[in-house]
């Protein structure tokens, strides 16, 4: 018999008392109903005491065999209550058999009533104390260790358990706060075994079940070699629980000392939303990028923004001759400037930070003339879809003509390569921002087709996690402040990538470019925004729709249900990198295009919103702005279904 702790001993004594009390109550009840006959129903007080003692011992033995003491009352569920019923039935049955040997057999009425009262009492006792204990536990939870499930019974699991064991007397150790209670692993040979006394309960498909049964607070994913597909599958199941989730990093990311040892729990990371994208991180050939950047003067417009600042960070790694940050917002520009000075030292990085607008042709001309950049990364743009719907002329001034200014100056000052950053919203745009970015793509293609000194290239990708305007920072603020998470539509989907991936694409595209290409990243399957919101809520240890409300606010002006990465007429061309494709160029008629741009510029400068929209629609024939008025969601769903059917038909042919 396993050694019992104090609380289990209390439970045993409580059960013994309940069984004895049930015998006394039964005797009293029967004496009351049979007061006109023998109150002892044909058996002596001594026989009754003998029977009650035997029953108490046999019920304890039977309850133990059926597992009624395997768990504390706080973790009892329906199955465990059933074990109490079976234990009492068998215990009373054994008692009846033994009682005959001592000639202490009572009437059948006594046996049935005492069994019912005893079973009901034992179940009720556990239920009441479970409720009471959970209330106390919640109030004092911050003082308790975190009951922990480890996913994976391999080497990392052994390291974690050893580290937790050695941290018992070291409160400063990150592993000190964890209390392992179970392990899950998909290896059938490991099922039913244990590691350092911690049982392997089941497979990864049973994560939610064992989290519930073992009252798990924290899940640690301890399979550093896991591929991304299985990692997403496991994290999806783990995120359906209300547990906190920690991830042991990839083997290549783990830090070890000279002997190959490490404090693994200090490297355990919180689950990141990008872990749920369901695809491998896109990696590029740094050798090509190094040759592209090293020793060059690199200008980044919008260099203080989320994409621009990451561009500057990554460019710094490849020893450029000089970096020029151009941004209209001084706070962001200052932050990235100070970050680079801290990381590299002010004397070790040749950095120029300039506050200027790409709209200002004369100022940009002065910058190009002074610094003579070899490479220009054009990231400056107004990107917030709803805001640009209200002032389309401002989107045109900044996005379209800011791009035109920079591109023409790049050609004039013999820039080697000009890389313009676009978006999937430029494909069949339904909003002003997307339409202006499509117009920017056309400007880059026009420059590539009519000039030869500079290689002009466009990079196009989807939504960037964590960027300014991304839904993730908004969702986090809403969850942390206790407000409902707002999603525009339950069916809205988006392609996602991380900021480092987006910037790596930009750099790789620049290295590969010969002029005129639109580089597109294979971003895997699109993700439902509502699923993203639900997973993020679970990552905070909360339950969607219960702890945190999700409100559907309706599509915003200009917002699409579905994003596309390529226009129908572009097609795809593979590159040496299997994750990067090139959209073929669309021929631009120079005279017509320049004439249309001039009209658009005059309309925007006159602040005529209606005329600006009309002329923008003429330049970008795929711009369907009215699609988002009235029943837009239904129309988009129907249109999406038609497009999917066309694609399926084309595949079959």
Residues 474 and 115: their CA atoms lie apart, in Å, by: 59
Closest CA to 460 of 381, 374, 561, 373: 381
- Mean pLDDT in residue range 286-302: 92
- Mean pLDDT in residue range 437-455: 92
Q: Which of 59-68, 410-419, 422-431, 516-525 has the lowest mean pLDDT?
A: 516-525
Chain-centre distance of CA 346, in angstroms? 37
For residue 256, what pLDDT is reported? 43
Per-residue pLDDT tens over the stretch 46-78: 777 778 888 888 888 888 888 777 665 555 566
Residue 468 has pLDDT above 90, yes or no: no
For residue 274, what pLDDT is reported? 60
More confident residue, 144 or 471: 471
- Mean pLDDT in residue range 231-249: 81
Residue 398's φ and ψ, nearest 5 degrees, are -80, -50
618 and 609 Cβ atoms separated by less than 8 Å: no
- Mean pLDDT in residue range 315-320: 93
Categorize the per-residue pLDDT at 99 as very low, low, confident or very high, splitting at 50, 70 and 90.
confident
More confident residue, 383 or 109: 383
Residues 54 and 48: their CA atoms lie apart, in Å, by: 10
More confident residue, 213 or 327: 327
Categorize the per-residue pLDDT at 629 as very low, low, confident or very high, splitting at 50, 70 and 90.
very low
Closest CA to 440 of 462, 454, 419: 419
Q: Which of 141-145, 235-239, 364-368, 421-425 has the lowest mean pLDDT?
A: 141-145
Largest Cα span, the chain: 119
Closest CA to 433 of 463, 475, 412, 409: 463
CA of 370: how far to CAs of 293, 351, 404, 539, in Å? 20, 14, 19, 50
- Mean pLDDT in residue range 563-569: 54
Categorize the per-residue pLDDT at 367 as very low, low, confident or very high, splitting at 50, 70 and 90.
very high
Residues 496 and 489: their CA atoms lie apart, in Å, by: 17
Per-residue pLDDT tens over the stretch 252-276: 444 344 444 455 555 555 556 566 5
Length of the chain in residues, anyone? 653
292 and 267 Cβ atoms separated by less than 8 Å: no
Per-residue pLDDT tens over the stretch 162-179: 888 887 777 777 777 888
Q: Which of 12-26, 300-314, 561-575 has the lowest mean pLDDT?
A: 561-575
Per-residue pLDDT tens over the stretch 473-514: 788 888 888 889 998 888 887 777 777 777 887 888 888 888
For residue 340, what pLDDT is reported? 93
For residue 607, what pLDDT is reported? 95
Per-residue pLDDT tens over the stretch 332-350: 999 999 999 998 988 899 9
Sign for the CA dihedral angle at 436, 440, 445, 447 comes to positive
Percent of the chain with pLDDT over 90: 31
Per-residue pLDDT tens over the stretch 242-258: 788 888 764 444 434 44
Closest CA to 470 of 274, 240, 275: 274
Residues 129 and 137: their CA atoms lie apart, in Å, by: 12
- Mean pLDDT in residue range 119-136: 74
Q: Where are the alpha helices (DSSP H) in 44-139?
A: 45-65, 78-101, 108-139
For residue 336, what pLDDT is reported? 94
CA of 467: how far to CAs of 51, 357, 380, 496, in Å? 75, 21, 14, 11
Per-residue pLDDT tens over the stretch 506-536: 888 888 888 888 888 766 667 788 888 887 7
User: How many of the other CB atoms lie within 10 Å of CB of 288?
Assistant: 16
For residue 483, what pLDDT is reported? 87
For residue 8, what pLDDT is reported? 72
DSSP assignment, residue 218?
E
For residue 255, what pLDDT is reported? 39
More confident residue, 634 or 430: 430
For residue 2, what pLDDT is reported? 40
- Mean pLDDT in residue range 264-289: 62
Closest CA to 379 of 321, 412, 332: 332
For residue 142, what pLDDT is reported? 45
Query: What is the pLDDT of the chain when averaged over all its residues?
Result: 80
Closest CA to 239 of 271, 217, 264: 271
Residue 39 has pLDDT above 70, yes or no: no
For residue 285, what pLDDT is reported? 66
Phi/psi-derived region of residue 594, left when phi > 0, alpha when psi is between -120 and 50, beta in every other case: alpha
- Mean pLDDT in residue range 183-188: 92
More confident residue, 74 or 124: 124
For residue 420, what pLDDT is reported? 95
For residue 7, what pLDDT is reported? 62
For residue 523, what pLDDT is reported? 66
For residue 111, what pLDDT is reported? 82
Residue 110 has pLDDT above 90, yes or no: no
Residue 583 has pLDDT above 90, yes or no: no
């Amino acid at each position: 018999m396993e050694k019992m702790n104090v609380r289990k001993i209390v439970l045993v004594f409580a059960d013994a008392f309940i069984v004895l009390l049930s015998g006394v109550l039964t005797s009293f009840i029967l004496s009351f109903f049979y007061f006109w006959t023998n109150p002892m129903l044909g058996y002596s007080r001594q026989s009754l005491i003998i029977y009650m003692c035997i029953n108490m011992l046999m019920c304890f033995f039977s309850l133990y065999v059926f597992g009624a003491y395997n768990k504390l009352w706080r973790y009892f569920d329906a199955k465990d209550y059933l074990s109490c019923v079976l234990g009492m039935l068998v215990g009373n049955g054994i008692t009846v058999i033994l009682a005959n040997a001592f000639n202490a057999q009572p009437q059948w009425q006594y046996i049935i009533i005492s069994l019912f009262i005893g079973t009901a009492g034992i179940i009720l006792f556990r239920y009441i104390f479970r409720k009471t204990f959970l209330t106390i536990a919640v109030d004092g939870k911050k003082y308790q260790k975190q009951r922990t499930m480890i996913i994976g019974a391999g080497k990392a699991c052994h390291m974690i358990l050893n580290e937790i064991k050695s941290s018992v007397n070291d409160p400063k150790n990150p592993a000190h706060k964890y209390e392992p209670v179970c392990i899950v692993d998909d290896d059938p040979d490991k099922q039913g075994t244990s590691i350092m006394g911690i049982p392997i309960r089941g497979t990864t498909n049973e994560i939610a079940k064992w989290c519930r049964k073992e009252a798990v607070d924290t899940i640690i994913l301890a399979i550093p070699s896991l591929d991304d597909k299985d990692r997403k599958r496991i994290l999806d199941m783990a995120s359906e629980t209300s547990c906190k989730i920690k991830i042991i990093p990839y083997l290549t990311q783990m830090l070890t000392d000279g002997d190959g040892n490490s404090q693994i729990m200090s490297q355990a990371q919180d689950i990141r939303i990008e872990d749920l994208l369901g695809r491998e991180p896109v990696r590029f050939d740094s050798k090509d990028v190094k040759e592209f950047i090293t020793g060059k003067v690199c200008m980044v417009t919008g260099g203080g923004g989320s994409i621009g600042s990451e561009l500057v960070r990554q460019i710094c790694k490849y020893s450029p001759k000089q970096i020029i940050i151009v941004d209209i917002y001084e706070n962001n520009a200052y932050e990235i400037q100070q970050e680079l000075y801290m990381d590299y030292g002010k004397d070790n990085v040749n950095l120029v930070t300039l506050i200027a607008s790409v709209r200002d042709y004369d100022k940009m001309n002065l910058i190009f003339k002074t610094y003579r950049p070899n490479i220009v990364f054009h990231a400056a743009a107004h990107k917030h879809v709803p805001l640009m719907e209200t002032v389309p002329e401002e989107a045109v001034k900044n996005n379209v003509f800011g791009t035109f200014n920079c591109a023409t100056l790049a050609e004039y000052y013999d820039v080697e390569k000009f890389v313009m950053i676009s978006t999937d919203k430029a494909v069949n745009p339904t909003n002003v921002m997307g339409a202006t970015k499509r117009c920017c793509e056309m400007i880059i293609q026009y420059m590539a087709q009519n000039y030869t000194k500079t290689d002009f290239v466009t990079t196009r990708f989807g939504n960037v996690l964590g960027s300014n305007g991304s839904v993730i920072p908004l969702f986090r603020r809403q969850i942390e402040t206790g407000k409902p998470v707002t999603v525009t539509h339950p069916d809205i989907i988006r392609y996602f990538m991380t900021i480092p991936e987006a910037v790596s694409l930009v750099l790789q595209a620049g290295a590969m470019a010969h002029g005129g290409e639109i580089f597109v990243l294979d971003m895997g399957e699109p993700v439902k925004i509502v699923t993203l919101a639900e997973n993020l809520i679970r990552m905070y240890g909360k339950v969607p729709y219960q702890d945190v409300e999700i409100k559907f606010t309706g599509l915003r002006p200009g917002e699409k249900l579905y994003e596309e990465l390529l226009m129908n007429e572009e097609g795809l061309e593979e590159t040496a990198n299997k994750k990067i494709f090139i959209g073929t160029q669309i021929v631009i008629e120079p005279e017509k295009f320049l004439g249309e741009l001039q009209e658009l510029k005059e309309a925007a400068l006159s602040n005529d919103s209606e005329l600006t929209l009309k002329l923008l629609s003429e330049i970008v024939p795929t711009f369907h702005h009215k699609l988002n008025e009235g029943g837009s969601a239904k129309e988009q769903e129907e249109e999406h279904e038609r497009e999917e059917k066309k694609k399926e038909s084309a595949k079959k042919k």
